[in-house]
Amino acid sequence: MLKNYFKIAIAVLRRRKFFTFISLFGISFTLTILLVLTAFIDKVVGDSYPDRKRDRSLYISRMTEVMQQDGTSSGPVSFYFLDHFVGSLKIPAALAISSGFSGTNTYVNNKKIAVSYKYTNAAYWDVMEYDFIEGKAFNKQQIDNADKVAVISEDMKNQYFGDIPSVVGKYIEADNVKYRVTGVVKNVPITSYMLFSDIYLPYTVAKTDFRKDKGYRGGFFGVLLAKSTGDVSRMQSEFNAMVRRLPMESKDYKKIYCHADPYIVSYVDTGDEKRSGVMLVLSIIGIFTLLVMLLPTLNLVNINITRIMERSSEIGVRKAFGASSRTLVYQFIVENIILTLLGGFIGVILSIIALHFLNSLNLIPNLVLSINFTVLAIGLLVCLIFGLLSGVYPAWRMSKLNVVTALKSQ
Amino acid sequence: MIRLQNIEKVYRTDTIETLALNSVTLDVAKGEFLSIMGPSGCGKSTLLNIMGLLDAPSRGMIQIADKKTDNLSDKQLAQFRNKTLGFIFQSYHLINDLQVLDNVELPLLYRDTTAKERRMLATEALEKVGLSNRIKHFPTQLSGGQRQRVAIARAIVGKPDIILADEPTGNLDSAMGNEIMDILINLNRNEGTTIVMVTHDENMAHKTHRLVRLFDGSQVQ
């Protein structure tokens, strides 16, 4: 029976090539968009390099201060706030502090290289688990001494030094200052914006002394590490209590909001206390997915109705010779699933090509997207949903067709 | 084999009511070859469709192979048609996307048969109509007479007790029409299949056991 359905499905696809093209294009193109999107989300959300202890970490990304008059002021926190107030908490095992990355240019053989750099404290290297290709991180002693040392990314090493086996001990120049390389780490994609950089420097080598600025907001991020996952909620409570006790920076402010949140919540924090960033992102993804899927599904429903009605004589014959309405619904759904799986297969191939193309363009530094089994499973599931959604209604309509009317239509 | 009692068929639209069949009573005996004649629009095909359970009468009783059919569900009707009835249509109604063998196998798809059995029975049916050398062809590669022979093979493959043929020679020239008629006569004579045939052709009708004439939805002979 299935073989017969398969034969007829293929024959129908070959019969009206333009319709088939439209159907397959709709399915495969939609699937490609969804697969690329899920590959992106999977990479951004699912990849836990270099913060592999996410389950016992809380991220501090921004602070919002509410003014006496209407209005709020919001942005990343300062080194002082992290070091002085957050650093005084008792429950955390460690506090990683790093600045957001800044850009500068450096030159190698008269060739300009764009460089991102950020400052970190010593605990940053204990909290994070960067993969060192060679060398190691700078230590507390070097930070206290304000030694001009640096950890660089693999990508930076290749761009600046070229293809040589070891660069530890060599000097790299950025912003007219030479830094001695202590280690080379595997690249971090820019989508991990709190952790990404080409060059990591001790916070003490910056031209401005971050410790002197007593403001609460600056350009820094913090990551609190608990001793165990059981301590995370206690650590969060202690943080919240500290924020509640925080004196206002000036008379202009009446309220301070600052959160230590799990990775995802912190990643999409909008600074808006009334609207959750997670809900906002989920809503955007949901609406996007719905729109992307809804249009081709409606299109397929329409095409399927036309195609099925063209086959009303066949429906009449099948009914006359013993097919029940249910059998016919089953047949047309199977045919449609064959069509969507075919579209899905093309979609997967297109996605591989699209991801390869996106990776080679290097639009987002160090972000290497790939199709993995999760994405593939989502893709296949999407295909089946497509097949069912676009097949059920036309099949049901067709199965209700009167035999005599169906036979007369030829 | 077939018993129709006071069959009425009324087609209704918002404004018009058309009486297609008016109190038709008809008995067809087992093994009989009956032809139905009448002018266009007199209700011949409607009567055949009602006998074939493809259409329901507005009033009256149908009994086929000793079974009353008024209360059968969609699924039961489908099963009953599959086991008991075979259809031959004027315009063949073959599925052009399927090869001859697959077309003939079609009624067996809705039964509990294996692919091997289906293949064997379909080949056997095609041999009976002299088309065993065309099993891999598509319907569009065949002549009208050959297509109708495929349709006959499809109608007999499930070994039904009754065959209902709606102008089976209507689209064919007289030579091909006679060939098809000979196949039907042999089928009736050798296999004992009950056949009801609608036709416009007096010559064909006179080759059958009995002729029923309809006029304006009523039986006149």
The per-residue pLDDT for A196 is 93
The per-residue pLDDT for B94 is 93
| CA dist., res. A361 & res. A341, Å (int) | 30
The per-residue pLDDT for A212 is 86
**Rounded mean pLDDT, B9-22:** 88
Flag whether B144 is in a domain.
Answer: yes
Q: Of A12, A320, A325, which has the smallest distance from its Cβ to B74's Cβ?
A: A325
Q: Does A327 touch chain B (CB under 8 A)?
A: yes
Lowest mean pLDDT among A68-82, A126-140, A265-279, B64-78: A265-279
**Rounded mean pLDDT, B211-215:** 92
**Rounded mean pLDDT, B78-104:** 92
Question: Helix (H, G, I), strand (E, B), or coil: what is residue B93?
Answer: coil
Mutate to test the interface with A, among B110, B111, B156, B162 (most CBs of A within 10 A): B110
The per-residue pLDDT for A150 is 97
CB proximity under 8 Å: A 383-402 to B = 402
**What distances in angstroms separate CA B155 from CA A402, B76, B101, B130, B189, one per listed residue?**
20, 19, 13, 15, 16
The per-residue pLDDT for A398 is 78
Is A179 a residue whose pLDDT tops 90? yes
Pairing of strands B218-219, B210-215: antiparallel
The per-residue pLDDT for B162 is 95
What ipTM goes with this model? 0.93
Q: Of A15, A313, A321, which has the smallest distance from its Cβ to B107's Cβ?
A: A321
Mutate to test the interface with B, among A321, A399, A402 (most CBs of B within 10 A): A321
For residue A91, name the pLDDT band (cuts at 50, 70, 90): very high
Residue of higher predicted confidence among A92 and A174: A92
Tell me which chain A residues have a C-beta less than 8 angstroms from the C-beta of B83. Answer: 322
Is A393 a residue whose pLDDT tops 60? yes
Question: Per the CB < 8 Å rule, is A407 touching B102?
Answer: no
Q: Of A313, A404, A410, which has the smallest distance from its Cβ to B49's Cβ?
A: A404
Q: Of A3, A317, A403, which has the smallest distance from its Cβ to B95's Cβ?
A: A317
Q: Does B95 touch chain A (CB under 8 A)?
A: yes
Q: What is the pLDDT of residues A111-158, one digit of tens each?
A: 889 999 999 999 999 999 999 999 999 999 999 999 999 999 999 999
| E strand intervals along A293-337 | none
The per-residue pLDDT for A275 is 64
Question: Helix (H, G, I), strand (E, B), or coil: what is residue A214?
Answer: coil
Lowest mean pLDDT among A15-19, A327-331, A355-359, B48-52: A15-19
The per-residue pLDDT for A143 is 95
| Structural domains in chain B (count) | 1
Q: What is the pLDDT of residues B24-72, one digit of tens each?
A: 999 999 999 999 999 988 889 999 999 999 998 999 999 998 888 888 8
Identity of residue A48:
S
Is A410 a residue whose pLDDT tops 60? no
Lowest mean pLDDT among A248-252, A313-317, A359-363: A359-363
| CA dist., res. B195 & res. A306, Å (int) | 36
Beta-carbon contacts of A124 under 8 Å, excluding residues fewer than 6 positions away, are: A96, A97, A98, A200, A223
Lowest mean pLDDT among A96-100, A246-250, B157-161, B172-176: B172-176
Q: Does A8 touch chain B (CB under 8 A)?
A: yes
Cα A97–A99–A101 angle (5° rounding)?
A: 140
Q: Of B49, B95, B107, which has the smallest distance from its Cβ to A322's Cβ?
A: B107
Is A85 a residue whose pLDDT tops 70? yes
Q: Does A308 touch chain B (CB under 8 A)?
A: no
Tell me which chain A residues have a C-beta less than 8 angstroms from the C-beta of B54. Answer: 319-320, 403-404, 407
Flag whether B19 is in a domain.
Answer: no
**Rounded mean pLDDT, B200-219:** 90
Flag whether B118 is in a domain.
Answer: yes
Is A197 a residue whose pLDDT tops 90? yes
**What distances in angstroms separate CA A280 from CA A35, A157, A192, B11, B92, one per listed residue?**
21, 38, 19, 58, 60
Per-chain mean pLDDT for chain A: 86
Flag whether B2 is in a domain.
Answer: no
Q: What is the pLDDT of residues A40-55, one digit of tens each?
A: 887 777 778 899 999 9
Q: Of B55, B78, B105, which has the smallest distance from its Cβ to A323's Cβ?
A: B78
For residue B3, name the pLDDT band (cuts at 50, 70, 90): very high
Q: Of B79, B93, B158, which has the smallest distance from its Cβ to A410's Cβ?
A: B93
Size of interface A-B (CB pairs under 8 A): 72
Instruction: Give the up-direction half-sphere exposure of residue B57: CA atoms within 13 A in the CB hemisphere.
Output: 25
Beta carbons of A48 and A55 less than 8 angstroms apart: no
The per-residue pLDDT for A40 is 82
Is A183 a residue whose pLDDT tops 90? yes
Q: What torsion, rounded to 10 degrees, do the Cα atoms A183, A184, A190, A194 define?
A: -20
Lowest mean pLDDT among A331-340, B48-57, B59-68, B173-182: A331-340
CA distance B139 to chain A (A): 13
Please give the structure tokens belonging to residue A144.
């206290």
Q: Does A307 touch chain B (CB under 8 A)?
A: no
| CA dist., res. A294 & res. A184, Å (int) | 47
- By residue range, what is the domain housing residue B154? 32-53+73-219
Q: Does A11 touch chain B (CB under 8 A)?
A: yes
The per-residue pLDDT for A1 is 67
Q: Does B30 touch chain A (CB under 8 A)?
A: no
Q: Does A316 touch chain B (CB under 8 A)?
A: yes
The per-residue pLDDT for A347 is 87
Q: Does A17 touch chain B (CB under 8 A)?
A: no
Q: What is the pLDDT of residues A12-43, one digit of tens each?
A: 777 777 878 887 888 788 878 888 888 888 77
**Rounded mean pLDDT, A310-317:** 86
Q: Does A251 touch chain B (CB under 8 A)?
A: no
Flag whether B37 is in a domain.
Answer: yes
Question: Per the CB < 8 Å rule, is B97 touching A410?
Answer: no
The per-residue pLDDT for A97 is 97
Question: Per the CB < 8 Å rule, is A403 touching B54?
Answer: yes
Please give the structure tokens belonging to residue A52.
């592999």
CATH number at residue B43: 3.40.50.300
The per-residue pLDDT for A273 is 63
Q: Does A9 touch chain B (CB under 8 A)?
A: no
Is A258 a residue whose pLDDT tops 60? yes
The per-residue pLDDT for A360 is 85
Which sign, positive or negative, has the C-alpha torsion B197, B198, B203, B208? positive
**Rounded mean pLDDT, A268-273:** 67
For residue A300, name the pLDDT band (cuts at 50, 70, 90): confident
* The model's pTM: 0.67
